[in-house]
Structure 1
Amino acid sequence: MQVPPRGGHGRVVSAEERRRTALPRRSTKGPLDASDIPVVVDDPLAESAPSLPSRIRSPARPEAAPQPPQPPHHGPARGIDEMPSKDLGFLQDSQAYHVLPVTNVPPPFLDAPHAPPISSPIDTLLLSGHYRLAAIAAVRNLVNAPSPQDHDTLLHLLHVRLACLCLLQEHALAAQESKVLGDLNSAFYRHPLTNAHLVPWPLRLLVVRLAALGYGEWRKGIMGYYELARECRESIVKAASDDEKALWRTRLRDCGIRVANVLVEMGDFEGAGRHLGTLAAEGNQTRQVSLMETLVWLRVGDMSSARRCLARASNTAADELVDGTLNALIQLADSHYAAAATFFRVLHEKFPDDAMVAQNLAVCLLYTGRIEDASTILSELVDESPPFHSLVLNLSTVYELCTERNREKKFALAEKLASRREGGGGVGWELSNTEFKL
């Protein structure tokens, strides 16, 4: 409304003129018109803004060249869930990684004639069980990576490095090198909007385990798993789909099982058994947890609890190989060596290619005084299947029981295993002095 000038009479504006004034100005389109500015997605009126008709476009402005299809205006061009670019150049500091010690490795493995070159692809080294070479190659690729912002590649190589160190029984060294990540709970590793974590979930689990295993700080490891479990519960509540909820529920249960594992490693077997009992009450994967609980009670020496848990697992879903093996182990733990040997012999006849069953049969024969039969079975296993830690350890024990020249036999066994042309077939190709009892 216009105010008339003081001391005079102003012209009264009619209703018709007010209507004309409220209409938007219809001028020709120029370079500063709003239609040239990209639509701001955050503007709640942007989607409802009408487009300008073709008749008011400036004829003096040439038509723009065809542009590739743009994302719809209901979201930004960069996905909201996409992690912002982060500089992880601190992971490429060569001073953060150590030279792997070789004092605990038998010389035949260091000078193996058929070992692959270190330039081999890391996946090939992992599949063949050459974890030492894979750990060295992972650090070389990590330090020499061209882009410090390639999160996926850098974190994957670091994960390979730490996991290989654990497989080489170098947990303290892996714990030291994992410190290069710093505090994984800091905001640096979080998405500013979705709070998603930059570091993959398996690597976060491994870092928590290294904090407990590498330094013997078991309580710190348990607290780390509980912190991850809290994140799982929050993610289940915020999950947008059933598949996402199922994923976080699986991760939550996995954290619970890892807590039991830490309790076992710190010697609290009864606490681990009770903890697993609470996990089995959830209903899902009851058999898996019941089998774990059976092994824990076997370690404690509570045979009645072990039989009860095994019966619960068998009622859920029976497996002749697994259930039969656990029944035989219960007989062995109860000092019924002859009965255990009979159980394992029956299983060996049904599953002749199962190396673990054959090894347990040899152990039972060793307890019953049949050392030659046990030595024959273990020697055949070394020739026919990829050797694993407990197999080499048990065969070295048999050498000590059978001859005073056992050290020569152990070195001959190391040379034989180091001269293998093929890889470890899913197990570690390299063995340490501990397995050979040197």
Structure 2
Amino acid sequence: MTKGPLDADGVLDDPLAPDAPTSTNASNASNASTPSTPSRVLSPTRSPIASPPPEASAAASAIQANLSLDVSFLRDPSAYHALPTTAPLPFQHASNIPSVAAPIASLLLSGHYRLAAIAAARNIVSAAASTDYPTLFHLVHIRLACLCLISEHALAAQEAKVLGDLNSAFYRHPLTNVHLVPWELRLLVVRLTALGYGEWRKGIMGYYELARECRESIIRAAEEPERALWRRRLSDCGIRVANTLVEMGDLEGAGRHLGTLSKNGGDTGSAEAREALVMETLVWLRVGDLASARRCLAGASEAESDALLDGTLAALVQLADSDYEAAASSFRSLHEQFPEDAMVAQNLAVCLLYTGRIPDARDLLSNLVDQSPPFHSMVFNLSTVFELCTERNRDKKAEMAEKLAGRKDGGGVGWERSAVEFKL
């Protein structure tokens, strides 16, 4: 092979692809294939036999729809842990907390992820049928994702082990060989498996295995929308590998890996190539390689101009270069141009803090708490400013916690905030 497992370009030139021109020997081999020896097909919309008659296709679909997969092991109550409480008291005793019996969809929309995780576990244990695997997989996905959203990654990693080995034949359809576990859940389990065993390399290996499946599915796909779906999944696997390298602390490796994604993504001016260049810029900023960061930022700007994103990255380069006054000026200009953008306002507050204008930074962050949904760095930075401004900072943090706990919902983010964010 001359292409890596995460490269999407050139995958349709595979001489073994079903639509490729065939020689006489290949034609003979194709004629020799019979339904008794179906090829290994990983696409969920493909039949195991090339170009089957309509009756056979309909029969296969009916068999797949009537498949009974017993996943009763998912309903074991001991597989799901009681969730520890890490939120400040105002969040624990808020009067506007919905009931855990509320529909899970409403809990998710309102940002009550802890309650959604509890409700999902209860629904899994009390499920009516152990063979309703689509519903049970969906509930398990909600449970694990919500645990990650409330920063309970260790618990999520332990509970993900109840699924066992997702690469086993148990999770494959006996006739079509289609994987029965939703793709998004498989992606999440790969990361949690690495967390659970404390070996990030397991995560990287898992993503490369999924990438191999993506490439096979691209080759076998009959329709262009299906190929586009698997190409997006392949690109996503590549980005997740870079994310795992960052979590491992191998920032330089992540930067080099993202560089291959931006170069091998086909059209250098595509949205995918620009996205990889933006990520690579951030990684090189973390490393401290400002020359590489500027080079990637220039490449991203050539692909497509975005005043907000490109301006933010340029200001971050100034900040990384310890030119705080210039960075503050750049962020102030962006704040005037995009007054509703909370991340720009927060970065401006940080620059003001670095230049000694602590009261201005405090006022800016306090306004953010009142006007926009909270996020981790905003709450943490305002708590730090309180520590710099007053000895009664604990009271100020408690007031902020009460204010945030009084919200009716999360405003698009998690409603509950942990005590660590308030530095309590």
TM-score by length of 1: 0.81
- CA deviations on 1:355-383 (whole Å, 9 max, x unpaired) are 11111100000000000000000001101
Match of 2:40 in 1: none
The structure whose RCO (Cα within 8 Å, separation 6+) is larger is 2
* Match 1:435 to one of 406, 421, 424: 421
How high is the sequence identity, in percent, across the aligned residues? 70
The alignment status of 1:152 with 2:152, answered yes or no, reads: no
Match of 1:340 in 2: 327
- 8 Å Cα contact 1:81/1:194 also seen in 2: no
Q: Which has the higher helix share?
A: 2
The alignment status of 1:392 with 2:368, answered yes or no, reads: no
Query: Hey, what's the Cα distance between the residues in 1 that align with 2:69 and 2:301?
Result: 50
- CA deviations on 1:295-346 (whole Å, 9 max, x unpaired) are 1001101111011111111111101011101111111111010001111101
- CA deviations on 1:153-174 (whole Å, 9 max, x unpaired) are 1111100000000011100100
1:73 offset after TM fit, Å?
4.1
Query: Hey, what's the Cα distance between the residues in 1 that align with 2:260 and 2:54?
Result: 49
TM-score by length of 2: 0.84
Match of 1:414 in 2: 401
Partner of 1:310: helix, strand, or coil?
Answer: helix
Query: Hey, what's the Cα distance between the residues in 2 that align with 1:231 and 1:363?
Result: 44
- CA deviations on 1:255-307 (whole Å, 9 max, x unpaired) are 11100000001110100000000001123411011101011001101111011
Gaps of at least 5 residues in structure 1 are: 1-41, 44-70
Query: Hey, what's the Cα distance between the residues in 2 that align with 1:205 and 1:278?
Result: 21
Match of 2:317 in 1: 330
* Match 1:364 to one of 347, 351, 364: 351
What's the RMSD between the two structures over aligned residues? 1.6
- 8 Å Cα contact 1:218/1:266 also seen in 2: yes
- 8 Å Cα contact 1:172/1:215 also seen in 2: no
Query: Hey, what's the Cα distance between the residues in 2 that align with 1:81 and 1:355?
Result: 51
Query: Hey, what's the Cα distance between the residues in 2 that align with 1:131 and 1:73?
Result: 46
Query: Hey, what's the Cα distance between the residues in 2 that align with 1:419 and 1:409?
Result: 16
**AA of the residue aligned to 1:88:** V
> Which 4+ stretches in 1 moved above 3 angstroms?
71-78
Match of 1:99 in 2: 82
Query: Hey, what's the Cα distance between the residues in 2 that align with 1:90 and 1:277?
Result: 43
Match of 2:119 in 1: 137
* Match 2:410 to one of 424, 428, 432: 424
- 8 Å Cα contact 2:116/2:146 also seen in 1: yes
1:392 offset after TM fit, Å?
0.4
Partner of 2:84: helix, strand, or coil?
Answer: coil
**AA of the residue aligned to 1:359:** Q
Match of 1:264 in 2: 246
Query: Hey, what's the Cα distance between the residues in 2 that align with 1:419 and 1:245?
Result: 47
1:76 offset after TM fit, Å?
5.4
**AA of the residue aligned to 1:337:** Y
Match of 1:89 in 2: 72
- 8 Å Cα contact 2:161/2:193 also seen in 1: no
